């Protein structure tokens, strides 16, 4: 096979991958970062996918890859690119702050679902990401494991505990010391 044919096949594989994953990755990033950062992080993600096209699991030489096979790995790449962008943005902001000695008030979050956001923020970073991947991206625990680098079992346990914590925070009166159908001071018969 000539070098030109190899490049053509590589390009065709990338284009089929991009056709399948660009929209879900865009939605994934929209949910996790400021709208003005989304396009930059998506571009960086696509560049990494181009560079690592031979490492994408489930990407054969056929026409269109199966979304369920390639998307979790691509979410993992996007997650890494987003983390890099956040670190770079943090360094830039700290430099501007040092140079201007200005203190900026933190931006207020949207109040549409403040109780849900508050409950989510009470979780650890990894638990929050596991819940988001499950609820917002619709991934199964094995797919979340691929994105986060955890085992499927660890993801299932984290997800179960995180959902329980969220439910407790969102419905504080839900826990009741009484069991249904039982009275606390009910006397027992000695028969």
pLDDT at 76: 95
Domains in the chain, please, with CATH? 1-105 (1.10.1740), 108-173 (1.10.10.10)
pLDDT at 152: 94
pLDDT at 172: 72
Alpha-helix residue ranges (DSSP H) falling in 31-66:
35-51
**How far apart are the C-alpha atoms of 126 and 158, rounded to whole Å?**
9
pLDDT at 147: 92
pLDDT at 163: 92
Cβ-proximal residues to 169 (8 Å cutoff; 6+ apart), any chain: 118, 119, 122
CA atoms within 13 Å, Cβ hemisphere of 129:
21
pLDDT at 102: 44
Cα angle 162, 168, 174; round to 5? 145
pLDDT at 181: 52
Q: How far does Cα 86 stand from its chain's mean position?
A: 14
- pLDDT, tens digit only, all 191 positions of the chain: 788 888 898 899 999 999 999 999 999 999 999 999 999 999 999 999 999 998 998 887 667 888 889 999 999 999 999 999 999 988 988 877 777 754 444 444 444 577 888 888 889 999 999 999 998 889 999 999 999 999 999 999 999 999 999 888 888 765 554 555 545 455 544 44
């Amino acid at each position: 096979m000539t070098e030109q044919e190899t490049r053509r096949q590589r390009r065709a594989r990338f284009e089929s991958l991009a056709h399948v994953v660009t929209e879900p990755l865009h939605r994934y990033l929209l949910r996790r970062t400021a709208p003005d950062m989304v396009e930059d992080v998506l571009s960086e993600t696509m560049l990494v996918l181009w560079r690592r096209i031979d490492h994408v699991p489930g990407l054969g030489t056929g026409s269109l890859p199966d979304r369920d096979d390639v998307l979790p790995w691509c979410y993992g790449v996007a997650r890494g690119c987003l983390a890099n962008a956040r670190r770079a943005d943090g360094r830039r902001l700290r430099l501007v702050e040092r140079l201007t000695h200005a203190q900026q008030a933190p931006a207020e979050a949207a109040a549409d679902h403040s109780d849900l956001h508050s409950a989510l923020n009470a979780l650890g970073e990894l638990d929050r990401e596991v819940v988001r991947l499950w609820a917002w991206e619709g991934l199964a625990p094995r797919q979340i494991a691929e994105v986060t680098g955890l085992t499927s079992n660890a993801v299932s346990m984290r997800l179960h505990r995180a959902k329980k914590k969220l439910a407790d925070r969102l419905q504080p009166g839900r826990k009741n010391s009484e069991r249904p159908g039982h009275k606390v001071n009910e006397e027992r018969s000695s028969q």
